[in-house]
DNA sequence: TACTTTTATGTGGCTGGCCAAGTAAATGGT
DNA sequence: ACCATTTACTTGGCCAGCCACATAAAAGTA
């Protein structure tokens, strides 16, 4: 329920139709996700780290970092707050005292189902007014675009 | 150039294919936009406010707020920083001393072309590997999805 | 062995973004 | 005329995210 007023696209200064659509869609999407995450006392982004740990517990901070694609400082600070919130633990690895091994706590594991439900709900809402072919095309195009942008970025 | 390593989608915990694709695409998109904006000494989000002023100068802060769809505190702080950066001026309206009227400075106007170029470049890169039909379908679907999410949010 | 380089992580500083609470001015009701 | 309400904006607090720099430990090299 954050904003009931849809943003207006600027006529001037271009604003590529597709790019601007991506931008606005992502904002709406993220806003709704944030509202659902707040219900489980999570901040946006934290659920991504948890999901990687659900995939495999005991990951190293560098592994998480690479998988979520964020800056290491962002991950470092988020993990510290999540540790203080009791969602996970961070212990130095015995063989290499530089690396921090991250383990889920019981409270962290308890959020697996709510997070899964959140994503499923978001997906259901998103595809509600699309045909299966549109869903397929849209998702495929999204990956093509992402790859295109990433390839051009380097 | 921020991240050359593509993020890994988490297998566990669901992660709806379409929703996750939107999430990742938006991050990549925004990252590349941020890199281009940094070249003109702009921070992400500031270009949206400028674009609304290019559409029509002398807007009120409330008008900008409604059009970009952000929180009023976010707009207030961003405008203050942009004023300090010399991009715009904020003067209380004579008839209603509550409202702040925002005007572009010469430096602010000078960024119109670079910002337009930035959006055009981003658009070109995005659609490079898509057919015109795919572009049309993708953009249309994006608006359908956004409307669907927004409708469900209230 | 000692020294440099790479790797893994932490910290400071800044901005974007949200919420909640506060101020100030115009509006509306009585 | 008085006072409550609405409106426009500001401020403080918090977290996400980035960059730049700093630290510590492992690995490579002379």
Domain ranges within chain A, ordered by starting residue: 17-153
Q: Is there a contact between B55 and A112 if contact means CB atoms under 8 Å apart?
A: no
Q: A120-146 burial by CB neighbour count: b if 16+ within 10 A, else e?
A: ebbbebbbeebeeebbebbbebbebbb
What pLDDT, on the 0 to 100 scale, is given for residue A41? Answer: 95
What pLDDT, on the 0 to 100 scale, is given for residue A3? Answer: 47
The architecture of the domain spanning B45-153 is: Orthogonal Bundle (1.10)
CB A150, CB B6: distance < 8 Å: yes
Q: Is there a contact between A137 and B142 if contact means CB atoms under 8 Å apart?
A: no
CB B26, CB A33: distance < 8 Å: no
What pLDDT, on the 0 to 100 scale, is given for residue B53? Answer: 97
What pLDDT, on the 0 to 100 scale, is given for residue B75? Answer: 97
- Secondary structure letter of residue B22 according to DSSP: H
Q: How many angstroms separate the Cα of A82 from the Cα of each of A43, A57, A118, B13, B141?
A: 10, 15, 19, 18, 36
What pLDDT, on the 0 to 100 scale, is given for residue B10? Answer: 72
CATH number of A17-153: 1.10.10.10
SS3 content of chain B, % helix, strand, coil (to 5): 60, 10, 30
What pLDDT, on the 0 to 100 scale, is given for residue A100? Answer: 97
pLDDT of A1 higher than 70: no
pLDDT of A153 higher than 80: no
Rounded to whole angstroms, the Cα distance separating B57 from B61 reads: 11
Mean pLDDT, chain B, integer: 91
More confident residue, B122 or A3: B122
Query: Which pLDDT tens digit goes with each residue over A45-101?
Result: 999 999 999 999 999 999 999 999 999 999 999 999 999 999 999 999 999 999 999
Q: List residue ranges whose Cβ is under 7 angstroms from nucleic strand C.
A: A 2-3, 31, 34, 60-62, 65, 72-73, 76-77, 79-80, 90, 96, 98-100; B 43-46, 70-71, 73-74, 77-78, 81, 95-98
Bridge partners of residue B88, in order along the sequence: B104
What pLDDT, on the 0 to 100 scale, is given for residue B4? Answer: 52
Query: Which pLDDT tens digit goes with each residue over B33-65?
Result: 999 999 999 999 999 999 999 999 999 999 999
CB B27, CB B44: distance < 8 Å: no
What pLDDT, on the 0 to 100 scale, is given for residue B1? Answer: 43
What pLDDT, on the 0 to 100 scale, is given for residue A104? Answer: 97
């Amino acid at each position: 329920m954050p904003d009931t007023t849809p943003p207006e696209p600027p006529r001037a200064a271009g604003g590529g139709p597709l790019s601007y659509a991506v931008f606005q869609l992502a904002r709406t999407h993220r806003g709704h996700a944030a509202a659902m995450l707040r219900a489980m006392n999570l901040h946006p982004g934290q659920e991504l780290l948890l999901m990687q740990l659900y995939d495999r517990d005991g990951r190293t901070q560098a592994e998480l970092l690479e998988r979520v694609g964020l800056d290491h400082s962002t991950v470092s600070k988020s993990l510290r707050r999540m540790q203080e919130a009791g969602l996970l633990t961070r212990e130095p690895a015995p063989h290499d005292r530089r690396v921090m091994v991250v383990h889920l706590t019981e409270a962290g594991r308890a959020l697996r189902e709510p997070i899964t439900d959140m994503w499923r709900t978001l997906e259901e809402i998103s595809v509600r007014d699309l045909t299966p072919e549109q869903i397929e095309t849209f998702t495929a195009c999204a990956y093509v675009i992402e790859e295109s942008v990433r390839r051009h970025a380097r």
